[in-house]
Structure 1
Amino acid sequence: MNWSLSINKDWEHLEERFDWVVDMRNVPQDSIHHAEGDVAIHTQMVLKALTDATSFQRLNREEQEILWTAALLHDVEKRSTTVVEDNGRITSHGHARKGEFTTRRLLYEFGIPFQQREHIAALVRYHGLPLWLMEKSNPVKALLEASLRVDMKLLSALARADVLGRICQDQQELLDRINFFDAYCEEQACWHSRKSFATPLAQFTYFHKDDAHPDYIPFADLKTNVVMLSGLPGMGKDRYIKKHYNDWPMVSLDAIRREYKLKPDDTSATGWAVQLAKEQAKEFLRKRQPFVWNATNITRQMRSQWIDLFVTYKAHVKLVYIEVPFKTWLAQNSNREHAVPQAAIFRMLPKLEVPCIFEAHDVEYCIAAP
């Protein structure tokens, strides 16, 4: 292992180095669940509970680093989501989801390797799942989705440290919930490894349909192919297409904007370009002509609406995520013919959701080495 967010893990050093660690000071927490004090105090207690655990000490170095970094960042966005309700209670709804985005951005800028970064970001996202799993509308699907993104044993260890690193009256009840979570993972065959599906189509169908069963094996009745690109501007999507799909027709929002001289910040023009691109895609789908869908597609919501369209026409969808290291990205964007202003791409970076492996029939990660 040749990466680390910080070799020196002393809290004072972390505060000197990272402004987001300083931000944890004086972020209040509800005294019923966190009588220990603010987020900074809680995070230090979590880190101590984690590193003191025998289970942590038995992990290999990389697993320890992943888990320690996730623990440091697990409540990073309580700074932006904490509110005092009218009744005096303190809440921080959405801090885990927002924390995933912040974690991804920070670790990308620091050069943490892709797989480790995404594992840490997912641990931050799901760190409360072992406590609240059975309150989900579909606990099994929530569990299996998490299992495709994180090591459930590490997730359980993080949740346990999160509980031990606080002062509350219901601590034992929370620990019992984590024990139940561990047993439920065993029951759903996702404790020792990620949930295994019979086929990629079975995996996609399960997460794409509300009433699907994880053991259901659908009949493969796909008629055409669509390759969807995903990545921030300047990552090299056009280069990838030229290398691998140069002879395929392409639907490109950027190409439409350039052809019709539309400004990227013109909302009405963008809406018109999207509709034109949609009609072009439908024409290829009706003809069962394979094509490439070239756009940034950096959010899951954006990707899902297009994948839904393609699947309606019985297309096999291959989703390709493109990424290069942070400094390479900045250089590539500034050197491209149609460069996006740096301020604009920096606004897009915190919104990036790296595609999950269940979002399409086939998901490929094209990650350039540092």
Structure 2
Amino acid sequence: MMLHKKLHTEMSWEHLCGLYDEISDMAGVMQDPIHHAEGDVAIHTQRVINSVTSLPEYETLTEREQQILWISALLHDVEKRSTTREEEGRIVSPGHARKGELTTRLFLYEKVPLSFADREQIAALVRFHGLPLWVMDKPDPKKALLAASLRVDCYLLALLAKADVLGRDCEDKQALFDKIALFALYCEELNCWRKVAPFPSDDARFHYFYTENSTDCNYEPYPEKGSEVTVLCGLPGMGKDTFIRQHCADLPIVSLDDLRRQHNIKPDNRDANGWIVQQAKEQARLYLREHKPFVWNATNITRKMRDQLISLFYRYNAKIRLVYIEVPYAQWQRQNNARNEAVPVKVMERMLSKLEVPTPEEAHEVIYWIEGQSQTIL
């Protein structure tokens, strides 16, 4: 898919700054001179972009891969603007990659629409752009790398990291390049270089990531009898109810909205929301005890929300299918406005800014239902 006409590799930095606050805000955001003696985030980002397009490997990429890598370079430090602070005499930006993923997703959904797969690849590159340098410092390097490989092309990730180092002025450049080379070797060793890490089955993948002390990614857990639970995930107005009518009409539904309506509780009544969730969980437990399939219908837009549910369902040996539902931004607005209980625009935008698209390791199966059909993120 070609890029939006307002964002492409030929556009000048000044033009980008005039169009988007996300880019202009980089000016004046200082960096630690030990690691970034070249200057502020705007200077560094321009140098990274130039480094990306100057890499010999860049010319061998497909046009789509070049576009993905270029935009990732543009946005990789987008949230240093909100996370940078001075700490014990040093300039630090803790969490800028994690927050940058959310901003990148919002930016490429609302302002510069791309295909779902391209957007999520760029968001993942922003999220993991430091991984090639720090993977061996993780508590569990193997699990960290395999999880990343489910979302991002590790080859593109290594190229972005290489350009990131080239865009710096620092004394440890060679040591950083050595780390990137080690990262590539580790990817090859774990069989996730230029491809998704292989697992024997969905059950094996879920068990490996979900079980805290699991070390064998090839372990096949013993199949236990339990419910098949479909957990819907999506912002209000994306079409979750339509999906249920078309694909889950014969299944029992646990719906937070239905429970609110039954008890005359408004969605913005925060004091009652906890009670509603507990009522829904009790309803779910009835199905779980009887090993019956059912659908959990709620927004579930953050990983924390989903983890709480998955923990409950998995305790009953359930097989969990996460279905993420999305339509384009303009269509989403129209669909929300057409609802009997339209969500206020400010609430919609606040929820959109917090959206964490489910990742493949979160459940036994993760389906991305985009514009009425199943798509992949890689």
Aligned letter for 1:241? I
Which shows bigger deviation, 311-320 or 60-69?
311-320
What is the percentage of aligned positions where both structures have the same residue? Answer: 55
Aligned to 1:224: 227
Q: Which amino acid aligns with 1:39?
A: V
What residue identity is the alignment partner of 1:231?
A: G
Q: Which residue of 2 aligns with 1:192?
A: 194
* Superposed counterparts of 1:164-179, under 5 Å: 164-179=166-181
Within 2, Cα distance between the matches of 1:358 and 1:319? Answer: 10
Shift of 1:9: 2.7
Unmatched segments (≥5 aa) in structure 2: 374-378
| Structure 2 partner of 1:6 | 7
1:77 aligned to which of 63, 76, 79: 79
Q: TM-score, normalised by structure 2?
A: 0.96
The code of the aligned residue for 2:242 comes to: R
Match of 1:247 in 2: 250
User: What amino acid is aligned across from residue 2 of structure 2 in structure 1?
Assistant: N
**Distance apart, 1:223 and its partner CA:** 2.1
2:18 alignment counterpart: 16
Q: Which moved more, 1:92-101 or 1:258-267?
A: 258-267
Counterparts in 2 of 1:138-217, with a 5 A limit?
138-212=140-214, 213-217=216-220
The equivalent of 1:283 in structure 2 is: 286
The count of aligned residue pairs is 369
Structure 1: how far apart are the matches of 2:3 and 2:12? 17
Pick the aligned partner of 1:118 from 111, 116, 120: 120
User: Do residues 297 (structure 1) and 321 (structure 2) align?
Assistant: no
Spell out, residue by residue over 1:114-145, the C-alpha distance to the aligned partner (whole angstroms, 9 max, x if none): 00000000000000000011110000000000
Partner of 1:363, secondary structure, is: strand
Q: What runs of 5+ residues in structure 1 fail to find an aligned partner? A: none
Deviation at 1:12, TM superposition (A): 1.5
Q: Normalising by structure 1, report the TM-score.
A: 0.98
Paired residues of 1:325 and 1:369 also in contact (CA < 8 A):
no
1:327 equivalent among 320, 327, 330: 330
Measure the CA separation in 1 of the matches of 2:258 and 2:344. Answer: 18
Is the partner of 1:90 in helix, strand or coil? strand
Q: Distance in 1 between matches of 2:212 and 2:316?
A: 19
* Match in the other structure for 1:312: 315
Conserved in 2, the CA contact under 8 Å of 1:320 and 1:363? yes
Partner of 2:369: 366
CA distance in 1, matches of 2:194, 2:357: 24
Alignment partner of 1:104 is 2:108: no
| One-letter code aligned to 1:99 | G
Give me the whole-angstrom Cα distance separating, in 2, the residues matched to 1:111 and 1:15: 18
1:272 aligns with 2:272: no
Runs of 4+ more than 6 Å apart: none
Coordinate RMSD, CA, aligned: 1.2
